[in-house]
Copies of this chain bind each other. A is one copy, B any other.
Amino acid sequence: MTDQMQKIVLASRPDGAPTPDNFRLEEAAVPTPGAGEVLVRVHYMSLDPYMRGRMDDAKSYAAPVPVGGTMEGGGVGEIIASNADGYAVGEFVMGGLGWATHAVVPAKGLAKIDPKTAPITYALGVLGMPGLTGWFGLTEYGRPKEGETLVVAAATGPVGSMVGQVAKSMGLRVVGIAGGAEKCKLATDHFGFDACLDHRAYDDASALRAALKEVCPKGIDIYFENVGGKVLEAVLPMMNQFGRIPVCGMIAWYNAGGLGADASEGGLTGPKLWRTILVNFLSVNGFIISNHWDRMPDFHKAVAPMIQSGDIKVQEDITEGLENAPQAFIDLLNGGNTGKAMVKLI
């Protein structure tokens, strides 16, 4: 056990898209666990779009990371010192370990994972927060019915691919949207989507909508919202009556600052959005998965066997080394990852 650890701190708040100088790699002494705490050596840390929100100081569902503070995030690792009953050295755990090689955290905030039943990385993706987000949002707020049409963007990401594959297993027509021809091929060939459109191939929302009409001849019943922006604008007029929109993210607007007039590209005004909800009797539900951790056992019960059987495919995008985390995160926000983004630390 070394005495020194490394961590990435928020050096400054981004103005729009984050740049490498918003982050700083620091060394620190490895802390000692207090009562009820454990020291974890982090093996993999997760990169997720929500982390962009934590870099701003706007009011949101979670407090911002303070400037100079360690970037927050989930990770998996091994307990290397324990001061908590029932948590032994050598056990693997998942939890909020931050962008760091080591973390001292309260043991009760951690979930134990068994490296024998599945690769430990699954706890950050397909069997973790993003997977639960997709499964819960789809089944709870999407209310999918056989024969309906679902659209999801970021189709090859860990949320979108879960949404699409579960919907497919329930007999829906599933159309993905992704950035680039390769990802689209992955969505259809690997994840089994019925169709996938490359949003980069369409100049604006109207062009994307025209293409969507080809692959969604019966309109759209469920739009699983994780991107906002051009995709939302394209999809909105295509929503069928009684359509459902679970909203778990809006990555296209995460860099939009105050979300003022500038962010309202293409005339997606509040009144237009509101009118569509009204005249099509839409059900729109915002949610953040941390309010629904209690559904994790249900999720595992439903989905783990489908992973085992190969009905749900896994795709991970692993960067090596903590020092490369900031760039990997910047890439993620630009759609540069293919599959669940994470950083291998050991």
Contact = CB atoms under 8 A, between A and B. Distances in A.
A335 interface: no
Contacts of A268: 269-271
Contact of A264 (B228, B247, B269, B280): B269
A291 B241 CA distance: 11
A326 to B, nearest CB: 24
Given A269-B260, A272-B259, A272-B270, A284 B281 contact: no
A232 interface: yes
Interface string A194-234: 00000000000000000000000000000001001000110
A267 B261 contact: yes
Contacts of A277: 247, 284-286
Interface stretch (A11-19, A92-100, A108-116, A249-257): A249-257
A225 B279 CA distance: 13
A281 B61 contact: yes
A261 B269 contact: yes
Most chain B beta carbons < 10 A, residue from A248, A249, A269, A287: A269
A88 to B, nearest CB: 37
A59 interface: yes
Contacts of A241: 61
Contacts of A280: 61, 286
B278 A249 contact: yes
A304 interface: no
Interface residues of A, number: 42
A271 B285 contact: no
Copies of this protein chain in the complex? 2
Interface string A34-61: 0000000000000000000000000111
Contact of A285 (B61, B267, B283): B283
Given A249-B278, A281-B288, A286-B279, A271 B61 contact: no
Interface string A281-303: 11111111001000000000000
B259 A269 contact: yes
B291 A286 contact: no
A249 B253 CA distance: 28
A271 B256 CA distance: 9
Most chain B beta carbons < 10 A, residue from A261, A284, A285: A284
Contacts of A232: 270, 274
7 contacts: A60-B279, A61-B281, A250-B271, A253-B271, A277-B285, A282-B284, A283-B285
Interface of A: 59-61, 225, 228, 232-233, 241, 247-250, 253, 256, 259-261, 263-264, 267-288, 291
**3 pairs of A and B residues whose beta carbons are closest in the complex:** A268-B270, A264-B269, A277-B286
